[in-house]
Amino acid sequence: NAGVTQTPKFQVLKTGQSMTLQCAQDMNHEYMSWYRQDPGMGLRLIHYSVGAGITDQGEVPNGYNVSRSTTEDFPLRLLSAAPSQTSVYFCASTNLGSNQPQHFGDGTRLSIL
Amino acid sequence: DQQVKQNSPSLSVQEGRISILNCDYTNSMFDYFLWYKKYPAEGPTFLISISSIKDKNEDGRFTVFLNKSAKHLSLHIVPSQPGDSAVYFCAADFGNEKLTFGTGTRLTIIP
């Protein structure tokens, strides 16, 4: 059971560089989301999607873009990385409207120098 | 403004005893509450949940209690086991899958 797969697990970037964090799920979930976890702040919602072609902003969307071209994949793009984006990023998925818990990937630890 | 609060950053409990983790929230419109467990270098794993229309939900060693008038929920683990040592996050949503998380409590079970 693959569940939610995130790649890469670790990445170091220089300020101003761009990169894409990958997220894929094999559970046919409609809903996918991205969170970031920072020390002392819990997890905060960046962007989410309720289906292919539909995305929306969460609590902390600035500096990030997303797209959802398929049900399975939900990549997160940093167009110009900043040190404030140093964090651990988690992708999650679930079915819509069923009060089902979200399934999380194991995270990507990103450092911006 | 933190809508979901876990005021105890850490908790140590003897093996076999009860662990009680607490969570407070400020928005009475939250509809669904969850507890997640997280080990280092892994993603959060769902543990147990409760709907706002209930006041208790039990699953094996884990029980979640909801007190809506106090805007408070708690997670009871009994008996506590060494494998329960982890960070526990409380989360809430409005029934729209958009979770608001607390800051977490690190539970250490002492053998």
Q: Which residues of A touch B3 (CB under 8 A)?
A: none
CB contact under 8 A, A48 and B97: yes
If one counts every other C-beta atom within 10 angstroms of the C-beta of residue B18, the result is: 13
- Is the pLDDT at A98 greater than 80? The verdict is no
For residue B46, which residues of chain A lie inside 8 Å, CB to CB?
101-103
pLDDT at position B96, please? 83
What mean pLDDT comes out for the span A45-65? 96
Mean pLDDT of B21-30: 96
Indicate the DSSP class of residue B18: -
Burial class (CB in 10 A: 0-12, 13-18, 19+), B46: middle
Task: Find which of A43, A50, A96 to mutate to test the B interface (most B CBs within 10 Å of its CB).
Answer: A43
DSSP characters for chain A? ---EEEE-SEEEE-TT--EEEEEEESS--SEEEEEEE-TTS-EEEEEEEEETTEEEE-SS-TTEEE--SSSSB--EEESS--GGG-EEEEEEEE-TTS-PPPEE---EEEEE-
Q: What percent of chain A has pLDDT over 70?
A: 98
* In the predicted structure, residue A97 carries a pLDDT above the cut 90: no
- Between the CA atoms of A48, B75, B23 and B9, what dihedral angle is there, to the nearest 10 degrees? -100
CB atoms within 10 A of CB B58: 12
CA angle B13/B16/B21 to nearest 5° reads 40
C-alpha distances (whole Å) from A86 to each of A53, B41, B46, B100 are: 28, 16, 25, 20
Per-residue pLDDT reduced to its tens digit, A3-33? 999 999 999 999 999 999 999 999 999 999 9
Using CB atoms, pick whichever of B41, B44, B97 lies closest to residue A96: B97
Mean local confidence (pLDDT), B3-23: 97
Task: Please tell me what DSSP assigns to residue B82.
Answer: G
pLDDT of residue A40: 83
Query: Which chain A residues touch B51 with a CB distance below 8 Å?
Result: 99
Per-residue model confidence (pLDDT) at position B102: 96
pLDDT at B6: 97
pLDDT tier at A39, thresholds 50, 70, 90: confident
pLDDT value at residue A1:
63
pLDDT per residue as tens digits for the range B55-106 = 999 999 999 999 999 999 999 999 999 999 999 999 999 888 889 999 999 9
Q: Taking all residues of chain B, what is their mean pLDDT, rounded to a whole number? A: 96
And the tokens for A70?
Answer: 């398929």
pLDDT range class, residue B7, cuts 50, 70, 90: very high
